[in-house]
Structure 1
Amino acid sequence: MCKISHRVCVLVLVLFSQFIVNAAVADSSKNGIQQALIQTTMGDITIELYADKAPITVANYIAYIKDSAFNGGEFYRVVGPDNDQGTPQISVIQGRASTSFDDIPPINLETTKQTGLKHQDGTLSMARGAPNTATQEFFICVGSQPALDFGGLRNPDGQGFAAFGRVTSGMDIVRKIQQNRQTKVVEDTYIKNQILAHPIKIIAITLNK
């Protein structure tokens, strides 16, 4: 148990977490494009991460991967025109780390205006509420989703979401997950018929050497 004040403990944890992310930014930006594998109970999804274009977002994602945070995670939300209560409607699957893992502090939003990356078929992007609140939840686009880009109308603040990679193999698995409509009852009408009753498990996400 920490013998100093709780506030100091939290500050130390935040600074240490930021150090990890900063180190990962420096390391990942050298690599340009980083390849990784998402293993799920429905099959494998191969992805590439654009550290040269979205260094903060990629470094954050890699930090979670290196901490094995996604081992035991899940794709738990599916959104498509038939169950989307938002406007404009989108098609995505949303994933998250294991619920037993403590999130790293949120990162700054790298907009598509800054990175030049767009929300196209297979794009990986960070889920968020307000700007600069993304931690580890991410989504994969099914089809082109321009409403999620900077200036798009999906989010009222107009900042869009932080695209940072794309699927290079396994979009058939992504689409199978997205077509799942065995959902559970929720109180929030915005996500009605979107939260899977039996989430698709993420076995692990690993970086290619």
Structure 2
Amino acid sequence: MSKTTLPRRNVILGAGLIAAAPQVVWGADGKPRVTMKTALGTMVLELEAKKAPLTTANFLRYVDAKAYDGASFFRAARNDWAPTEGTIVAQPAAKVRPFPPIRHESTTMTGLKHTHGTISLGRFDVGTATNTFFICLGDQPFLDARPGEPGDNLGYAAFGKVVSGLPVAQKILAQPTGGETKFKDQQDQWLKKPVIIESMRRA
């Protein structure tokens, strides 16, 4: 499976249809949490199951299937105007077969925005998202849906945020890039050494 990003820098590829999505486990605040252990430290994600139910259920389906164990952050797309900001992109190992793509939940539908710490689902065309996701470091408003502008202008499907461990995400963004990729517009964005996700579990 190829790996990608967004218009300016193709953000990522897709999510997976939920034919029989697992039941969401609600926390005290009504939002499920997931603990992600990486080679550089641990992050805790809080998911917007009420605002982005389809995207959240899709992500949890992969978590429950342990599909992200052994996955990796393979890309660090740093903003030209602010190198300490940008997005880090991850997806499962190539041997993991994705579930069917899911319907796109745009930011105009959910009310969510791509602000600092947001976790969002990657895609190519609308309706192609499966299991690739990214985390925003710094506000990234160009990833939101922008009705009225050229192109498909539907942005990406934000569905949660990092509530603990953002310095770990920052470390990943700062890793050396220049790794091999077939995408010419991403030559300086692929990590020379991908950061392994050791496990992801519901908190």
Tell me the TM-score normalised to structure 1 length. Answer: 0.81
The alpha-carbon deviation at position 198 of structure 1 amounts to 0.9
The alpha-carbon deviation at position 193 of structure 1 amounts to 1.0
Q: 1 or 2 for the larger relative contact order (CA 8 Å, sep ≥6)? A: 2
The alpha-carbon deviation at position 197 of structure 1 amounts to 1.8
Aligned residues: 183
- Aligned counterpart, 1:171: 166
Which among 126, 134, 137 is matched to residue 132 of structure 2? 137
Which among 159, 169, 190 is matched to residue 195 of structure 1? 190
- Aligned counterpart, 2:50: 52
Which among 178, 181, 188 is matched to residue 183 of structure 1? 178
- Aligned counterpart, 2:20: 20
- Aligned counterpart, 1:100: 95
Deviates more, 1:30-39 or 1:187-196: 30-39
Cα RMSD, aligned residues only: 2.3
State the distance in 2 between where 1:187 and 1:202 align.
23
Going by fraction, where is helix more abundant, 1 or 2?
Answer: 1
Structure 2 residue runs without a partner (length 5+): 1-16
- Deviation string 1:37-61 (CA, Å, 9 cap, x unpaired) is 1100000011101101100000000
Change (3 A) 1:153 1:69: farther
Check conservation: 1:29, 1:52, Cα contact below 8 A: no
Structure 1 residue runs without a partner (length 5+): 1-16, 85-89
SS of aligned partner of 1:20: coil
The alpha-carbon deviation at position 20 of structure 1 amounts to 2.4
Tell me the TM-score normalised to structure 2 length. Answer: 0.83
The alpha-carbon deviation at position 153 of structure 1 amounts to 10
The alpha-carbon deviation at position 97 of structure 1 amounts to 1.3
- Aligned counterpart, 1:65: 63
Q: Which amino acid aligns with 2:197?
A: I
- Aligned counterpart, 1:124: 119
State the distance in 2 between where 1:155 and 1:127 align.
20
Q: Which amino acid aligns with 2:165?
A: G
